[in-house]
Structure 1
């Protein structure tokens, strides 16, 4: 069944859609709707409000809405059928991109800063060759291993033990990436419609996962310093969410690192509130300026309230779809029972490659840190020189800068930079209800030359926003 967007809902998402554009209202309306598609705040296949209803909600003439919808049909962002209404669609020649949003099928000159991910390390080729020698051992059975291969579970468990959290293979379940780990945890822990607590800002795909369960999302806002411990713990006690999803290690997108005193108090507070903690450690290996990492949150769990999820996407390679859950052994078995109804088990060969690659962890991680530290510093220097009005704090790890812009222009800026061959993720993608227009996430995972070129093009795009509207509509390269 097609979801229906009502006029008042679209009006709220559009916000000040006609402010200061200097162009006809119908063009501004169409451009603003495309912007919502670009940053993922409007889904494909969503039925738009009727022209009269939207005109009433926006306080404009129906003629303006009719003309705006006509432009959207011409650009391929809306399809209409008499008697059935209008719904959001995809322009021709687009596909589902790796970032979970729609992108053009051919963009050879695009500098893609929408994805906070690295290319594969050279050790991956070696690990893949080594894994082929391991494969014959598994060819004699059906190949289904719902909790994962024992050698990979052992390697992951050993990694936790080295970090000061004793872990056995029975406490590890291998999944098809971190997103799969989160999905399984949510399926197990969160009944439909129950409240969940998320940080603001947070990882966009986590919001999508909770929304799929029709969860009632509560937010805890991070500040410049990260988490206010007392406020976070009070939030748990007062709201008693079923689950709290937190990213303590180099939080995505802000880069904050949760201090150990708060980690020590979190599990007990969660237990008192009847809350389970889903702790996302996707970036835990990517410490750049930290002398000693704090202990994992699960180190202080006395009541089996903490499910830790992690994986190989950020440190190693996103194309190797390997994630995991660390939890109490009985919880792992319950997760396996849930998984059987979703995807049975992960690919055997991928898990063998992952186990071999983890044997090269020290060399891979150190090389990643050196590279990211260098690219981060180059990007920060360029931003300070070319865009001094923008503010950011230096992240001690992870792969992103969380930029505070000089005005609430994140979404229009991301639309503007596409004309210059840059793809960015605007601030509203990391929050709820269209907030965070003053913020922008910028990863430093690309080579220095691409980062410098990106900043130069962003300077030009920023200037376009202050100038009279310079041109007609250009078809966006990115639609959701």
Structure 2
């Protein structure tokens, strides 16, 4: 397959105005930032010099010299028959394993690597009620590879109520949403399977698909809104067999894809025969009282939908689900049985109880996260005013843009101040994104304020060594 290409008009729109003194250096720097930030993906063929000259209204010499400079520093590679292809120089800004390990922090550290809150009040009461139901199951062997009927029914009812008609036979209970992604990936992909994945995206999902041998093809996520122009264009170019998408409070950007965009994406995937794995892990953490769009799966009948209670209630339950078309369930069960034989019965009973009776706990969770989000935004405005931050309407984290590509440099300094960070390259399937980092707001407001105060001190030590990071006077908060 020939390399993906980006149109000259799209490059011109992305790069916007650039420094013209001299023009070739300004153009080279603009293109370097686009590649570093993932807006032009690694492996994508840039326009020919003539096409970009016409689109930008500059001289041919300007484009020629800009391309030559990018080749010299490793951001462009010329391949016989493929033109000039975006690349990244080998550096620590490329994460190989893309894995986040939860729970490794010491007592004196604030861990901002994992976007997972502590248990909701009321979880213990749900366990106590579930223990009362447990005796009815003790006479059996305790293995339920597809899940307890009572929980499968509860999940099916919730999906149906949201607009995705589902029967209990279409639901499999798994140990968390990532396990559901792994089951579906093993069932649907193998070595070389063309798999469309967003960039940035959930790091452990990147590793999951790589374990199957899938060929990952990335589509950049728009910075300010859930714009699907690039996703549609990439789908047309690569015609993937499989796609992994997070339309609901995307991790890490927080974007929420609207109904119209979902309809467009579904139509394009259907046109190319692409099966979507839709990750709804964040669906329950809408923070601003908005009406949620219909499930992406309701627009795309052949899709697989995964979800869990980890974000809404507690990750320690380790209960999630996979919803698939009836004709695909046998393949899902076979894939699952090579991984594990089921989720613990007690935790399934707790989850069924929460899905039936947990609305008050969910409301408390949302209020807690909303307070934390607003506290984090206030602390960033005070201590890190040069960072750009989009205000998400849901999810668990802020996706912060630094004035320069320095999140990998910042992380060790932050650790010296007792704050652990997940840097942008962790979320980039093909590397880059070192201008960004994710800040979860899952810890209490006072802890976040302390962490961001320390982070400000670490950033100032970064500035001392890199004056180019000084950037803007205040952050940009986008509603």
TM-score by length of 2: 0.75
Q: State how far apart, in whole Å, the 2-side matches of 1:387 and 1:223 are.
A: 23
Q: How many residues align?
A: 380
Cα gap change, 1:42 to 1:201, in 2 (>3 Å): closer
Structure 2 residue runs of 5 or longer lacking an equivalent are: 1-41, 43-72, 74-89, 467-479
2:345 counterpart of 1:348: yes
Structure 2 counterparts to residues 252-401 of structure 1, below 5 A: 252-301=251-300, 304-401=301-398
Q: State how far apart, in whole Å, the 1-side matches of 2:465 and 2:298 are.
A: 57
**Residue 366 of structure 1, CA deviation:** 0.6
Name the residue aligned to 2:418: 421
Structure 1 segments (4+ residues) deviating >6 Å: none
Secondary structure of 2:388 counterpart? coil
Secondary structure of 1:392 counterpart? strand
Cα gap change, 1:232 to 1:433, in 2 (>3 Å): closer
Name the residue aligned to 1:154: 153
2:455 counterpart of 1:454: no
**Preserved CA contact (<8 Å) 2:254 2:397:** yes
Q: State how far apart, in whole Å, the 1-side matches of 2:241 and 2:360 are.
A: 40
Name the residue aligned to 1:478: none
Q: State how far apart, in whole Å, the 2-side matches of 1:190 and 1:267 are.
A: 20
Secondary structure of 2:190 counterpart? coil
Name the residue aligned to 2:139: 140
Name the residue aligned to 1:180: 179
Structure 2 counterparts to residues 216-231 of structure 1, below 5 A: 216-231=215-230
**Preserved CA contact (<8 Å) 1:267 1:297:** yes
Name the residue aligned to 2:101: 100
Q: State how far apart, in whole Å, the 1-side matches of 2:197 and 2:462 are.
A: 33
Structure 1 residue runs of 5 or longer lacking an equivalent are: 1-11, 18-32, 45-97, 470-480
Name the residue aligned to 2:205: 206
Cα gap change, 1:266 to 1:113, in 2 (>3 Å): same
Q: State how far apart, in whole Å, the 1-side matches of 2:465 and 2:263 are.
A: 54
TM-score by length of 1: 0.75
Q: State how far apart, in whole Å, the 2-side matches of 1:434 and 1:229 are.
A: 21
Secondary structure of 2:236 counterpart? helix
Cα gap change, 1:123 to 1:99, in 2 (>3 Å): farther
**Residue 99 of structure 1, CA deviation:** 4.4
Name the residue aligned to 1:81: none
Farther off after superposition, 249-258 or 355-364: 355-364
**Root-mean-square deviation over aligned CA pairs:** 2.4
**Preserved CA contact (<8 Å) 1:111 1:421:** yes
Q: State how far apart, in whole Å, the 1-side matches of 2:356 and 2:216 are.
A: 39
Q: State how far apart, in whole Å, the 1-side matches of 2:97 and 2:303 are.
A: 33
Name the residue aligned to 2:36: none
**Residue 338 of structure 1, CA deviation:** 1.6
**Preserved CA contact (<8 Å) 2:144 2:343:** yes
Secondary structure of 1:406 counterpart? coil
Q: State how far apart, in whole Å, the 2-side matches of 1:338 and 1:433 are.
A: 27
**Preserved CA contact (<8 Å) 1:131 1:356:** yes
**Residue 267 of structure 1, CA deviation:** 2.5
Q: State how far apart, in whole Å, the 2-side matches of 1:120 and 1:156 are.
A: 20
Q: State how far apart, in whole Å, the 1-side matches of 2:435 and 2:387 are.
A: 10
Cα gap change, 1:450 to 1:460, in 2 (>3 Å): same
Q: State how far apart, in whole Å, the 2-side matches of 1:447 and 1:40 are.
A: 31
**Residue 193 of structure 1, CA deviation:** 1.7
**Residue 457 of structure 1, CA deviation:** 0.5
**Preserved CA contact (<8 Å) 2:102 2:113:** no
Structure 2 counterparts to residues 422-441 of structure 1, below 5 A: 422-441=419-438
**Preserved CA contact (<8 Å) 1:237 1:272:** no
Can you list the C-alpha shifts for 1:270-325, whole angstroms capped at 9, x where unaligned? 12212100110000011112421111111122xx3211100011111111110101
Q: State how far apart, in whole Å, the 1-side matches of 2:213 and 2:148 are.
A: 33
